[in-house]
């Protein structure tokens, strides 16, 4: 019985998934490739986007996020190509996430007014965690 319980506990611990939250921009529509990679190449000409977010600047542990992207339509590829670069600094160097991604989107015109688009994105991400900036409170209850 103990072996079965230990096996179930081991399986439960391996099945735990971690989840994280991507940075959120207040004007998300101004960053189309970050919002949806299928927007790459939907503009008739090349498009450059630069975004900056400084959340809670008055606090000591502020969150600073920057993002830059470029996309271009290509008739030869029936879609568009793009690149997306982002950096997220959470808590003044506590957790830093840098990401570079390349995007290909396929665009199929359905009629004069509507089109269908889907995309593939490949990212390289670097995450740095500085444990010295963590603050743990210890309480003593008597």
The rounded distance, in Å, linking the Cα atoms of 116 and 91 is: 40
Is 107 within a domain?
A: yes
Is 19 within a domain?
A: no
Is 35 within a domain?
A: yes
Is 56 within a domain?
A: yes
Rounded mean pLDDT, 64-75:
93
Contact 89, 103 (CB under 8 A): no
Residue span of the structural domain in which 54 resides: 24-130
Is 1 within a domain?
A: no
Task: Give the number of domains in the chain.
Answer: 1
Token digits of residue 80: 């568009």
Is 95 within a domain?
A: yes
Least confident range from 93-97, 101-105, 132-136: namely 132-136
The rounded distance, in Å, linking the Cα atoms of 8 and 123 is: 35
DSSP per residue over 64-115, as a string?
Answer: EEEEEEEEEEETTTTEEEEEEEEEEEETTTTEEEEEEEEEEEEEEE-SSS-E
Rounded mean pLDDT, 70-87:
94
pLDDT for 18 beyond 70: no
Is 138 within a domain?
A: no
The rounded distance, in Å, linking the Cα atoms of 85 and 66 is: 8
Mean pLDDT of the chain: 85
* Backbone angles phi and psi of 99, in degrees to 5: -140, 135
Give pLDDT, residue 20.
Answer: 64
pLDDT for 45 beyond 60: yes
Give pLDDT, residue 140.
Answer: 67
């Amino acid at each position: 019985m103990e072996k079965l319980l230990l096996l179930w506990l081991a399986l439960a611990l391996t099945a735990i998934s971690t989840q994280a939250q991507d940075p959120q921009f207040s004007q998300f529509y101004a960053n189309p490739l970050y919002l949806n990679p299928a927007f790459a190449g939907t503009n008739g000409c090349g498009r450059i986007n630069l975004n900056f977010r400084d959340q809670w600047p008055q606090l000591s542990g502020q969150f600073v996020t920057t993002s830059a992207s470029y996309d271009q339509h290509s008739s030869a590829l029936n879609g568009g190509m793009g690149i997306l670069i982002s950096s997220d600094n959470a808590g003044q160097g506590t957790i830093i996430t840098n990401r570079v991604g390349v995007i290909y989107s396929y665009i199929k015109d359905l009629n004069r007014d509507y089109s269908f688009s889907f995309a593939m994105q490949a990212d390289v991400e670097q995450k740095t965690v500085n444990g010295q900036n963590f603050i743990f409170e210890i309480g003593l209850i008597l």
